Amino acid sequence: MLHFIICGDININYLNKSENKNQLDTLLLSYNLTSTINFMTRVQNTSATAVDNIFVDVSQFESYMVTPIINSMSDHDAQLLIIGTDYSHVPIHKFKTIRKINKHTVSDFVDKLRCESWDTISNSENINDMFNSFLNIYLRIFYSSFPLKKSN
């Protein structure tokens, strides 16, 4: 079994809502990867951002902990991800992320796909724009029919 962990300076501020953040989350969620950083990773004189991140498959790693490491050697602080250790002295993120898929949610999904006009796809001559338009519509419907739920 493969376990994926992606980390790095992604230059998308996870402290703010943005279209880039939504697009990256959508892409990574298709691989069941979820952001773990919810604290500042880059602090400068007039700004503080969370542009460094670690993405993990929380269904594969039931217990993990992420902490900042302020190193004063860079304009970015480090992050430490600890997986599968005894956390008796610190709070644990213990949850799984699931999608409820059954005959009712599938029926809802099919109905929404059927009712979608799909006109925006044919409004462009650029194949990349057409695909992106299709994918955005499809994923919007998919996520509305099968939302992620955190489960203990």
Percent of the chain with pLDDT over 90: 19
The answer to whether 146 and 101 have CB atoms below 8 angstroms apart is yes
- Structure confidence at residue 20 as a pLDDT band (50, 70, 90): very high
Which of 43-47, 62-66, 88-92, 134-138 has the least mean pLDDT? 88-92
Q: Report the predicted TM-score, pTM, of the whole model to 2 decimal places.
A: 0.53
Res. 109: pLDDT tops 90:
yes
Residue whose tokens read 């796909």: 113
Give per-residue pLDDT as tens, 22-53.
999 999 988 888 898 888 888 877 888 889 99
Q: How far is residue 49's CA from residue 38's CA, in Å, rounded to a whole number? A: 10
Instruction: Classify the C-alpha dihedral 42-47-48-49 as positive or negative.
Output: negative
- The average pLDDT across 84-98 equals 59
Q: Tell me which of 104 and 42 has the higher pLDDT.
A: 104
In the prediction, which pLDDT does 110 show?
Answer: 95
- The average pLDDT across 126-144 equals 88
Res. 96: pLDDT tops 60:
yes
